[in-house]
Chain A
Amino acid sequence: MMVQAKLASLKGIALHEWAVRFFFGGAVCVAAGLIARRFGPGVGGLFLAFPAIFPAGASMVEAHEKQHKARAGFDGTNRGRTVAGVDAAGAVLGSIGLAGFAVTCSICLPLFSTAATFGLATLVWVTLSITFWLLSKSRIFRHMRGGKTTLHAFRNP
């Protein structure tokens, strides 16, 4: 399966949808800071992996897919929810990478410069996420799941 990047995809997104993401992103960062100040770095650190924009993103994926189907004259409710589920399955793999990011930061921050640590940790996140995504698409995993699955039935949503 080919990974593609299309600038044109950004055209269909309304300004208020970007505003929601900006607001939630900023609000969670503020909340993480306040929680760390009140309860210490142990509890505060948990919120560095808070699913900040995931609910907003998933509901927008559902709404866009539903609108897309409605334009073609179909009821896209179920399709929209399945595509949001596929998006969430991707987030499972991304969060494995996020755990790798956290491990790298906890080990490297006391030893190396901030820039080097952040660069390495981001590289670890990208590498782990893509590796697990490729594995999930491989024949071995498809075989383990018993052939064609819901995920594969929606190959190009």
Chain B
Amino acid sequence: MLSSPAGELVARFLIGGIIVSLFAVIAEMVRPKSFAGLFGAAPSIALTTLGITIVQHGKNYAAIEARSMICGAIAFVLYAAAVSWLLMRYKTRALATTVGLLPLWLAASLAFWFFVRN
């Protein structure tokens, strides 16, 4: 399945969807909400993508991706903190806030990545 480009994309979609859904099931089951929120930052995408990358390109290539992922995760800390602050302080709509702040995640992760690389 992973030998053709189309097969790889189908595998990524199916495995990614399943792993993300599994973490979502755990998040829905646990209480309190602040604890359930931990699963909003579960490594579901990373487990899927790194696994397929290792099969295709080897472990050293995947390690480079993991190194960049550190910058993405630090940007996630900033993004989630901004979302939490806006929702609790100004009671903004959750979907508008979370989607509207995605450029913050992208800008912060690219900025960290450029800073680390140079």
Contacts and interface: CB of A to CB of B under 8 A. Distances in A.
Interface of A: 1, 3-7, 9-10, 13, 18, 21-30, 32-34, 36, 41-55, 57-59, 61-62, 77-78, 80-99, 101-103, 105-106, 109-110, 114, 118, 121-122, 125, 129-130, 133, 136-137, 150-151, 154-157
Contact of A44 (B31, B68, B84, B88): B68
28 contacts: A1-B32, A18-B21, A25-B19, A27-B16, A30-B12, A36-B49, A41-B53, A45-B64, A46-B75, A47-B45, A49-B46, A49-B72, A52-B20, A58-B83, A62-B95, A85-B83, A86-B32, A86-B34, A87-B33, A91-B37, A91-B40, A92-B37, A92-B77, A95-B73, A101-B69, A103-B70, A110-B60, A121-B43
Contacts of A36: 49, 53, 65
Contact of A54 (B17, B41, B62): B41
A43 B21 CA distance: 25
Interface string B49-79: 1111110010111111111111111111101
Interface centre among B28, B49, B109 (most CB of A within 10 A): B28
Contacts of A27: 13, 16
A156 B33 CA distance: 7
A133 B19 CA distance: 23
A109 to B, nearest CB: 4
A46 B102 contact: no
Contact of A25 (B45, B60, B66, B97): B45
Contacts of B53: 33, 36, 41
Contacts of B91: 77-78, 81-82
Majority DSSP secondary structure for residues of A touching B:
helix
Interface size, B (range):
35 or more
Contacts of A9: 28-29, 31
A32 B49 contact: yes
Contacts of A125: 42-43
Contact of A129 (B15, B38, B110): B38
B88 A92 contact: no
Given A28-B45, A106-B66, A156-B32, A10 B25 contact: yes
B63 A85 contact: no
Contacts of B1: none
